[in-house]
Structure 1
Amino acid sequence: MSEYLVIVESPAKAKTIGKYLGKKYTVKASMGHVRDLPKSQLGVDVEKNFEPKYITIRGKGDVIKSLRDARKKAKKVFLAADPDREGEAIAWHLATLLDVNQDEACRVVFHEITKDAVRDAFHQPRKLNHHLINAQQTRRILDRLVGYRLSPLLWRKVKKGLSAGRVQSVAVRLIVDREREIRAFEPQEYWTVDAQFQVPEGKFKARFYGYDNTKTELPDRSAVDALLEKIDGQPFAVERVKRSERRRNPSPPFTTSSLQQEAARKLGFRASKTMSVAQQLYEGLDVGAEGSVGLITYMRTDSTRIAETAQTEARQFIAERYGANYVPKEARQFSTKNNAQDAHEGIRPTSVLRTPEAIKEHLSRDQYRLYKLIWERFVASQMAHAVLDTTTVDISANGAWFRATGSVVKFPGFMAVYTEGTDDQPSEEQDKKLLPPIEEGQVLPEPEVVPEQHFTEPPPRYSESSLVKAMEELGIGRPSTYAPTMETILKRGYVVLDQKRFFPTELGEIVVDLLVQNFRQLIDVDFTAHLEKQLDLIEEGKTDWVQLLEEFNRELEADLEKAEATLEHVQIADEESDVECEKCGRKMVYKHGRYGKFLACPGFPECRNTKPIVKEVGVDCPICSKPLVERRGKRKVFFGCSGYPDCEYVLWDRPTGALCPVCYHPMVEKKAKGGVKLVCSNESAHPDAATPERSKGTKNKKLS
């Protein structure tokens, strides 16, 4: 019989921790939350200080029984859920269900799952932190009050199935406001004029700056013509050469927000994917002889603080691999934003000595790419600044000044490892160019003068990366809420993600307008940010959570009563397609479902015909010659015959348009080490796996 029972959230975490604790400990997983508010009712007694009515989550019966059986055999229970509000709440629910004495030190917290961190945590368990629990519980009740009071109003006045959320509604408003800003934008004309010089040492380009060294705009063609006339036939002389040394500091270690942004920029990851893969790296993976080990620190954090031991290890590593001049004189300290919670460190590898290359063979492609990003960012954050030599050259011709800039890396510093990506910003390639040797007073050869017309552009639509950044800067939500918020607004059909940019739907705009007109405070950015600060104060024990709920609910009830009386029914017309319903002849309309848009007959309920929206892939079915189309299943995209159900031909890999020279079936793209390879989709035609390669994982039906 084990003396101690340890409960964590996931089996992967249980496996990693179990190997560090020894035979006296039994480690089990709760599989996340075990209790929650009921789905069938509000589940909050507003009249009794907002007392929540928790129930066991459906489907968790076997898990709870297993935990109770293990509890009977153990002398003591340790609750080791994640080190945040949500984890504290899970620990509290488990303590309640399993009759764990909450006056005892039963809570164990660690910020990385390594041998030393886990053992140290078990040497200093603590009591449950009820300030943390209250903060989580308050957020849950706030969201329940909004969702269960406001959503039914939307069902009655707008459309069934809608929902409103305290954070999600504000996120949709940001997207709607940006779209309207783009629509209202009026482009302004402006021109640039470049002088392209050819000197013996090479080519370079200077851009018109202004007249007599004063910045001057070129708003139209007449201004450009006046400039061209002024410099026509005039000598171009170098008036000034300014050389300076510029230092560039590294970015801090990742927070949840910056990790999601950078993984989107550099890896093309959705925020939800980033958090899923990061969770795997945190909970532990088998890396060969070392066994299962947590590879990164806790991934839900808005702090950039780094443990002194980790900094010391990083500095030693940098000195050995890159040289002593790559190590700053003092360990770097990064400032943390005012509203950041500093309970956790920034996201870093649990050991910098565990390089990406050393463990690559043990990780999936996504795990490796994200770990490499985190490792490089952390190592760079502890390195010396980069030094760049910058040169600015001012050239004049009859009082018209042109300016050329360039730079060269004198000492790469942290840039030898990593540089941060950017959102919606022009390339810095021109700034990086090294200019040829130029001296003051030098007369340059006649340049080629190139005028070019431009128009100002509206602000870009939000990407996942820039929306996360905006939510963080505005104080909307917390690290753990960014990814689920974006998934929710997509699922509800309030926005769509097209070419990695958010567009509001008509439904999204209608709901935002309704909320702005009737629940101005609820959808106000500043009010939502204020609530987040209040939740932080509850966590710190400085604000009463019941009082906060009373004030919020009073305002919500007043707005609901007013909206119920004054709000008229809003009719949303479905967008009509050019596809005719084969059952009744009506023009089908576009609908939003769980897996995206689909076509439905507007004659519902008399006619219930629906069909998926299909996209042809430019390849014909080898069985019946009808076009192959892209279809979406529950888990992935596949490619099937448009003649279904008469023809059931299907491919699980994307066809390229090429045909196999042996059997004339489609060639498909198959993922392989080092990239993608071209293989034949028809396995039966190549039983000996001869050239051309065949796709082993493809199961085609009705192949001749």
Structure 2
Amino acid sequence: MTANLVIVESPAKSATIKKFLGEGFEVKASFGHVVDLPQKEMGIDIEHNFAPKYQVSPDKVRVVNELKALAKKADKVWIATDEDREGEAIGRHVANQLGLDIKKTSRIVFHEITKNAIDHAIKNPRTLDMNLVDAQQARRVLDRLVGFELSPVLRTKVKGGLSAGRVQSVAVKLLVEREREIQKFESESFFKVIGDFVGDAKKDFKAELSKDPTDKAEAEKFLNHAKDSAYTVESVEVRPGKKSPSAPFTTSTLQQEASRKLGFPVARTMQVAQKLYEAGHITYMRTDSVNLSDFAVKEASDQVKKLYGNKYSNPTHYVTKSKGSQEAHECIRPTHMEHQEAGSDPAEKKLYNLIRKRTIASQMTPASIEKTKAMIDISGHKLKFIASGEVIKFDGFLKVYFESSDEENEEGTGMLPLLKEGEKLDMQQIAATQKFKNHPPRYTEASLVKKMEELGIGRPSTYAPTISTVQKRGYVVNESREGTIREFVEMILAPVIASAAKQSEDKYVITTSTKKQNTGAEKQKLFPTDIGMLVTDFLGEHFKDIMDYNFTAKVEEDFDEIAEGKIKRAEMLKKFYGPFHKEVVATKDADRQSGERSLGIDPNSGLPVIARIGRFGPMVQIGKNEGEKKAKFASVPPGKSIETITLQEALDAFNGPRVVGKYKGEEVTASTGKFGPYVKYGKTYVSIRKGSELDYTTITIEQAIPLIEAKLEVDKNKNINSFDYPAKDGTGAGKKIEVLNGMYGPYIKYGGYNYRIPKGGKDATDMTLEDCVQIVDKKNNPIEK
């Protein structure tokens, strides 16, 4: 007989918690949710207060049965699922399945897995908070309503196989809006003028012209004036300043900083943080609070004093300011500040080190900075040169931690030599370099999380899943793209060299050169796909509320109010569903969308050229299928989109296959067609998978050979069996029924259609003609043609 059964979410926590609780306690995991809505139906009783029809998930039947058996033997069951709405709902569902009395079952919570935290939780149990359960259930039900009703609309009106989600749709909209800003952006050039000077201290320094010339002529005119100008320090301003440490990490700031400093995708950050939490190294990783407990403030401050001295210590409490901040959690911090290292692999150690340094730094003094700004007079000219410098007088928290930024900053923050008003300066050279204004930056995963948080879209538990989901659905890609080569002009005013000085009266000469630079390269940025843009446009036209940022944020606020007991779940859902369902019904009369864009006329055939979404993705097309004339198709080339591809780029996509090399004496080519990019070897066609790093325009023979060999091996094992099947009208003019091996397992092919073979039945190798006919006749639901 087990006196106490403690149920947690993850098995990774069990051993650690069991060690803290000791004898008389058994700790078992639910492995997350034990029930869910059914997959093949909506599973919501709309007429009865939107009651969800939960059922035990097939992969959790064994877990539930095991917990039931243990619960029967235990004197007391403790629900110890995670301390958030999701955890509260899991606890409720576990209690229901075990037949526990909700009003009497002990619910314990802890935001760190330490002995003190576990002991405190056991001594201070509460009951399950049904407001939190209702808030989670409201989110789950509302998202199911949206997904279940909206996805069929997209499949009918846009493209088969599509699905939609409430938060995911507005996240994609952010990317689409930014992409269109970039498409409309027209870069303007200007000239950045930087002078090199030397003063009495005999140390050179740089200064920037107070206004940028707009073109080459204006820049050249200034340099000609600068040849004969004198340069004098007009004023020197020295101002003290401070840099304060950032607050400890919340979920979103951890995701952002781990992306910038460690290069972690947001999903990776959460996976690693989960492991650190379960091992007892950090506090709970899904939080929007920057609060530190009094104990944590003292522990961090003690570490500061011990490692760096009293003058670096500045105990500070931070206040949470984010929209819809949830329950009274702490920030993400180490559970033992004295542990300078923790984690079982390099990723865990890196993330722990980041969390620890940020927490320690938050309890340190601000850095003291001295900022210097010198104005330099140019004789006979109204503009000035401005020299700026920054000196750290006391490093404070910077001794431990420096926060990264997504913004590029070209301004110098170095130290200036001692300068005095009225001091004469020697000009060493002045460079006028052509620059180009940058388009708005594309989002990274980290900056998208930041924007979502600013708008109140989603919550700590939803940021990472949202970003992962939109990529899995093909609405967004996260990739690096090469830039293009662009020319720019550089003019340098410098002293005349000695040999040339005899032939010229000028002390300085202007040298003009044209240089090249790579511009527009993108590293790990989020790009909306053509289908993502088309879906966004369709939803924006027909579901204005769903695609409205303020509306989405208001829904999140409603969930918060349900959690606080201010509004009822059913009322909130009813208010949402009525208008939404009307919009769904109204789309029945909407036209099917293909995102078609006319590009012009093919000069060779005189036929129209269009770009559109096809069955296999974005494509370009010459002509139409009319009579005996057949249209020609090609995939939109990598890096191009329906909205940006030009007529010439579309026509180039139809150029003949590119010869890659030879394999076993036979030519290998690469090209693209109606079904996407491919490699051809003899009569064998090998698709180049969408999302792979391979590009049909650059693939090498070394990269192509493994693809060819894998396809040949699959084809060799593809044919399992085949049967002659007479036509049903008795004419005998029937077709073959084939049993084949496919990418997703064996299937039946008949009459141009593919039919799934039910799981749990006969092995494909043992199937007879009668077995095949029965499946074909019974199912009448081919996979594809």
Runs of 4+ in 1 over 4 A off after TM superposition: 577-583, 598-601, 607-611, 613-617, 639-648
Residue 59 of structure 1 aligns to a residue in which SS? helix
Is the 2:193–2:212 contact (alpha carbons within 8 Å) kept by the matching residues of 1? no
Q: Does 1:385 align with 2:385?
A: no
Change (3 A) 1:394 1:118: same
Is the 1:6–1:79 contact (alpha carbons within 8 Å) kept by the matching residues of 2? yes
Q: Distance in 2 between matches of 1:310 and 1:420?
A: 21
Q: Does 1:317 align with 2:303?
A: yes
Residue 128 of structure 1 aligns to a residue in which SS? coil
Q: Distance in 1 between matches of 2:28 and 2:111?
A: 19
Q: Does 1:471 align with 2:452?
A: yes
Is the 1:172–1:504 contact (alpha carbons within 8 Å) kept by the matching residues of 2? yes
Structure 1 position 189, deviation (Å): 2.4
Q: Does 1:456 align with 2:437?
A: yes
Matched with 1:144 is 144
- What runs of 5+ residues in structure 1 fail to find an aligned partner? 210-215, 285-293, 592-597, 602-606, 618-625, 631-638, 649-704
Amino acid at match of 1:206: A
Matched with 2:491 is none
Matched with 2:498 is none
Question: Structure 1 stretch 574-583 or stretch 62-71: which is displaced more?
Answer: 574-583
Residue 446 of structure 1 aligns to a residue in which SS? strand
Q: Distance in 1 between matches of 2:349 and 2:144?
A: 38
Q: Distance in 2 between matches of 1:516 and 1:544?
A: 29
Matched with 2:22 is 22
Q: Distance in 2 between matches of 1:450 and 1:457?
A: 21
Change (3 A) 1:250 1:493: same
Q: Does 1:536 align with 2:560?
A: yes
Matched with 1:482 is 463
Matched with 2:167 is 167
Deviations 1:404-452 (A, max 9, x none): 0111111110000001111132256x11x11112111100013311112
Q: Does 1:327 align with 2:320?
A: no
Q: Distance in 2 between matches of 1:183 and 1:588?
A: 26
Residue 503 of structure 1 aligns to a residue in which SS? strand
Structure 1 position 201, deviation (Å): 3.3
Matches within 5 A, 1:365-444: 365-398=346-379, 399-427=382-410, 430-431=412-413, 433-444=414-425
Structure 1 position 198, deviation (Å): 3.2
- What runs of 5+ residues in structure 2 fail to find an aligned partner? 481-523, 595-611, 620-633, 636-652, 659-666, 715-785
Q: Distance in 2 between matches of 1:182 and 1:615?
A: 24
Choose the corresponding residue for 1:341, options 298, 323, 326: 326
Q: Distance in 1 between matches of 2:89 and 2:458?
A: 18
Matched with 2:41 is 41
Identity of aligned residues (%): 42
Q: Does 1:250 align with 2:245?
A: yes
Choose the corresponding residue for 1:277, options 272, 284, 292: 272
Structure 1 position 557, deviation (Å): 1.2
Q: Distance in 2 between matches of 1:615 and 1:303?
A: 39
Is the 1:628–1:641 contact (alpha carbons within 8 Å) kept by the matching residues of 2? no
Matched with 1:193 is 193
Matched with 2:233 is 238
Matches within 5 A, 1:628-639: 628-629=702-703
Matched with 1:510 is 534
Q: Distance in 2 between matches of 1:616 and 1:472?
A: 35
TM-score for both structures, normalised by structure 2: 0.73
Choose the corresponding residue for 1:494, options 457, 475, 482: 475
Question: Structure 1 stretch 373-382 or stretch 416-425: which is displaced more?
Answer: 416-425
Matched with 1:290 is none
Amino acid at match of 1:513: D
Matched with 2:203 is 202
Is the 2:84–2:327 contact (alpha carbons within 8 Å) kept by the matching residues of 1? no
Structure 1 position 340, deviation (Å): 1.8
Matched with 2:485 is none
- Higher relative CO (Cα under 8 Å, sequence separation at least 6) belongs to 1
Change (3 A) 1:113 1:160: same
Residue 196 of structure 1 aligns to a residue in which SS? strand
Structure 1 position 338, deviation (Å): 4.3
Change (3 A) 1:644 1:554: closer
Residue 149 of structure 1 aligns to a residue in which SS? helix
Structure 1 position 97, deviation (Å): 0.3
Q: Does 1:261 align with 2:256?
A: yes
Structure 1 position 243, deviation (Å): 1.2
Amino acid at match of 2:589: A
Q: Does 1:32 align with 2:42?
A: no
Is the 1:81–1:87 contact (alpha carbons within 8 Å) kept by the matching residues of 2? yes
Change (3 A) 1:508 1:385: same
Residue 472 of structure 1 aligns to a residue in which SS? helix
Q: Distance in 2 between matches of 1:517 and 1:202?
A: 63
Deviations 1:382-419 (A, max 9, x none): 11100112111111012431100111111110000001
Q: Distance in 2 between matches of 1:545 and 1:183?
A: 43
Matched with 2:120 is 120
Change (3 A) 1:561 1:642: closer
Structure 1 position 337, deviation (Å): 2.6
Is the 1:616–1:627 contact (alpha carbons within 8 Å) kept by the matching residues of 2? no
